[in-house]
Structure 1
Amino acid sequence: MPITPNPTVAAILEIASKREAPIDRTRNSFDAIRLAAAMTVIVGHAFVLTGSGPAPVVLGFPIHSLAVAVFFATSGYLIAGSWETRPGIVRFVRHRALRIFPALVAVVLITVFVIGPLFTTRDLATYVTSAQTWTYLQGMTTLVQYELPGVFVGHPRAVVNGSLWSLGVELVCYAAVILVGLTPPRARSLGYLALGLLAATIFFVTAATTLFPGFADAAPAIVFFAVGALLRIAVPESAYRRRTAALALSVWAIATALWPEAAIPFAWLALPYCVVTCGRVRTPASKTLARMGDVSYGTYLWGFLVQQIVIAILGPIPLIVNIGIVLVGSVALGWLSWILIERPALSIKNRSSR
């Protein structure tokens, strides 16, 4: 009698080998989830940047860290799907570059040549001739430098734009998608599983030793990305149920309350599933937001910088007022970034796909 594979494993491999249709942004809530995550990052950073104390902790995470995890889980699900729908290294790299770099380059250039001169405590000649000013431009390649000469000194944190750290990690995840994508379709679920296990191992080693000190934040983010990608290619649509998501969330919450050290491992499993389940739901509000454009990336890029500008101009103000002003300003700049930079860049991407 021939040996038949485990039916569950066989089903997963069959799902992973099929090419899926592109995700229609107007038929899901991923844009709304990412915008909510970008705004939550702003709220969490407000506590730290104003010196108001640590950010609130939810399910074992500071709220801004939880929001970044949502970004990576969502990105893993969507980007893995992008490769499965239209594989190809050149196309993939071109599309990802057109999504990431135009808005990033604009933020870095405006920061160095407009914001910096306006808010530095140094004279203009000293600012312009400082090597630190010019090395900040490497941020256009996601190599982040956190300070500019004399800019935002005297603030609780003199960091210019601390949110940019995650973009380099995102590029690492994109490279992983290419590597996994070059494997046979039936092996890709194992590839993303291996990526997640490797990143998780690095995280635990980092937590227990002095090895890999620079990966303390990057490794968990990569795990969230890998699990999101695995959900995209190895889990059937029928498996996303709200009751299951609620159960996963409850187990995560209980485990975190009883054993705080388990918050991150449980989050790696529960959060991506909950995010994808919610993201696949279509609501009138999410449909309207999707038609307005994806303003989440621009909001995320500008949020930290806007917070520092508000602190520099208005000084100590009630935290809730700070948050309100920064949210309005950041979303507005995110919308302008979408209209003036990101949407035109994506139109190039869309033309190149035809």
Structure 2
Amino acid sequence: MAASTPLPAPDGVPAAGVPATAPVTATAHRSNNLDALRLVGALAVIFGHAYHIVGRPFENPVVAGYPVQTLGVVIFFSISGYLITASWSRTRNPVSYFAARSLRIFPALAVVVLVCMFVVGPLVTVLTTGQYFDAPNFWSYLGNIILRPQYELPGVWADQPYPNAVNGSLWTLPAEFFCYLLVPLVFLVPKVLRIPVIALLLAWSVWYSMTPPLESAIIWHSRISDNALMWAFFAAGAILRLLAERGLRFRTDVAVGLLAVHLVFAATLPQHTAKVAWLFLPYVVLTVGLASTPYVRRASRFGDLSYGLYLWAFPVQQLVIDLWGVQRMSVNLVVVTAITALLALASWHVVEHPSLKLKDRVVRRFTRPRPQPAPAAGTPVEEPAARS
């Protein structure tokens, strides 16, 4: 995923509360910090995108060597690599696996796409109603539902500080779903070769992510160099999961050391940060996420809002600029976050949670639990893929 989260260019192409030496392992379903960490990632994306959307991209904050919105996406992909690998490792059932993945992504995505097309677009377009609905790029916007990114709607926000972009966050979804497709294929190779195969894919991803944007291949409307940067973090998360199944424990002292090394590297050789960050950040992210911190671990008690925040924030940010103009950044962020949080809450309770209930029924119908050896006395119970 480039030095910053690729927002679509105007032409439509997407440009710890644990002892310092304690082993960190989740102890029960939803008893860890992963939900809170995903919320942090979603809010980081909102915060970073705000600078682009109000026309101040050169003020975009940089954290740990990355623009803050890119760091948010790094968090998502690192967690996803770990949990999705855990999910397939447990079930090995393609029907339940892909049903679970699809029901998590597509229902909420479809709602956002349709609302932008049939509610937001007609209200804000500078075209007449007939011109808007007759334009070729109106119906092609439906391609976002099948993960074929398109960022423009006819006559919508062409004069904004960040023009012609309805939802620039959608570029990560095809990158994510491609990883979902790849995980079962990796498990076709013998167990001893899985980590080396993922390591080779990781190395290719890092190498290809260095491709200049104008030279990168574009497949299914996705620029592969942008996707490859995040594929590396997904692969690192997957490797860490496989190592965890072989006894790896996430230690806070190790995570602190790795983070310190990364920060020094990012400060002294910032142009090379993307080449090596996968060595450090996924371990740090998962150490924090798999810890169980009082209060923090209850971040989803009102619903898992991270996906809804991610999906809705960009169009809300553009709509706020359209309705009220460019306000002070503090005002903009408060207004945008409040509106987006309400939409994310509605998305969770009306769309996402009912879909997950259907997912659970499908998984129970098609999954026969694989026999597991009884854990030795005192062995921590691993997190069973919290909403993976």
Asked if Structure 1 and Structure 2 have the same fold, meaning a TM-score greater than 0.5 normalized by the shorter chain, the answer is: yes
Q: Alpha carbons of 1:237 and 1:274: their partners in 2 closer, same or farther (altered >3 Å)? A: farther
* Counterpart code for 2:240: L
1:50 aligns with 2:60: no
C-alpha RMSD over aligned residues: 1.9
Alignment partners' CA distance in 2, 1:36 and 1:24 = 22
Which runs of structure 2 are paired with 1:114-193 in the superposition (5 Å)?
114-158=119-163, 159-193=165-199
Asked if the contact 1:26/1:286 (under 8 Å) is kept, the reply is no
Moved more, 283-292 or 245-254: 283-292
Q: Alpha carbons of 1:144 and 1:22: their partners in 2 closer, same or farther (altered >3 Å)? A: farther
Alignment partners' CA distance in 2, 1:111 and 1:120 = 11
Q: Alpha carbons of 1:80 and 1:23: their partners in 2 closer, same or farther (altered >3 Å)? A: farther
> Any idea what the Cα deviations from partners look like across 1:176-210, whole Å, max 9, x if unmatched?
11211222333322232122112122223x14993
User: Which residue matches 1:59?
Assistant: 64
Q: Alpha carbons of 1:343 and 1:271: their partners in 2 closer, same or farther (altered >3 Å)? A: same
1:38 aligns with 2:42: yes
Q: Alpha carbons of 1:121 and 1:49: their partners in 2 closer, same or farther (altered >3 Å)? A: same
Aligned pair partner of 2:228 in 219, 236, 248? 219
Asked if the contact 2:26/2:292 (under 8 Å) is kept, the reply is no
Give, in angstroms, the shift of residue 287 of structure 1: 3.0
Which runs of structure 2 are paired with 1:159-308 in the superposition (5 Å)?
159-204=165-210, 206-207=211-212, 210-212=215-217, 214-235=223-244, 239-308=249-318
> SS where residue 156 of structure 1 aligns?
coil
* Counterpart code for 2:306: S
> SS where residue 299 of structure 2 aligns?
helix
* Counterpart code for 1:125: G
User: Which residue matches 1:9?
Assistant: none
Give, in angstroms, the shift of residue 352 of structure 1: 1.5
User: Which residue matches 2:378?
Assistant: none
* Counterpart code for 2:224: F
Runs ≥4 residues deviating over 6 A: none
Alignment partners' CA distance in 1, 2:119 and 2:212 = 40
Q: Alpha carbons of 1:237 and 1:152: their partners in 2 closer, same or farther (altered >3 Å)? A: farther
> SS where residue 26 of structure 1 aligns?
coil
User: Which residue matches 2:9?
Assistant: none
Q: Alpha carbons of 1:258 and 1:239: their partners in 2 closer, same or farther (altered >3 Å)? A: same
Alignment partners' CA distance in 1, 2:216 and 2:47 = 32
Asked if the contact 1:28/1:283 (under 8 Å) is kept, the reply is yes
Alignment partners' CA distance in 1, 2:174 and 2:182 = 13
TM-score in terms of structure 1 length: 0.90
* Counterpart code for 1:327: T
Alignment partners' CA distance in 1, 2:312 and 2:188 = 35
User: Which residue matches 2:353?
Assistant: 343
1:323 aligns with 2:328: no
Choose between structure 1 and 2: higher helix proportion. 1
Q: Alpha carbons of 1:60 and 1:344: their partners in 2 closer, same or farther (altered >3 Å)? A: same
Alignment partners' CA distance in 2, 1:326 and 1:211 = 33
Asked if the contact 1:73/1:224 (under 8 Å) is kept, the reply is yes
Give, in angstroms, the shift of residue 24 of structure 1: 4.7
Structure 2 gaps, min length 5? 1-24, 365-388
Alignment partners' CA distance in 1, 2:47 and 2:158 = 22
Higher relative contact order, chain-length normalized (CA < 8 Å, sep 6+):
2
Asked if the contact 2:216/2:225 (under 8 Å) is kept, the reply is no
Give, in angstroms, the shift of residue 53 of structure 1: 3.1
User: Which residue matches 2:380?
Assistant: none
Moved more, 285-294 or 153-162: 285-294
Give, in angstroms, the shift of residue 336 of structure 1: 1.0
> SS where residue 338 of structure 1 aligns?
helix
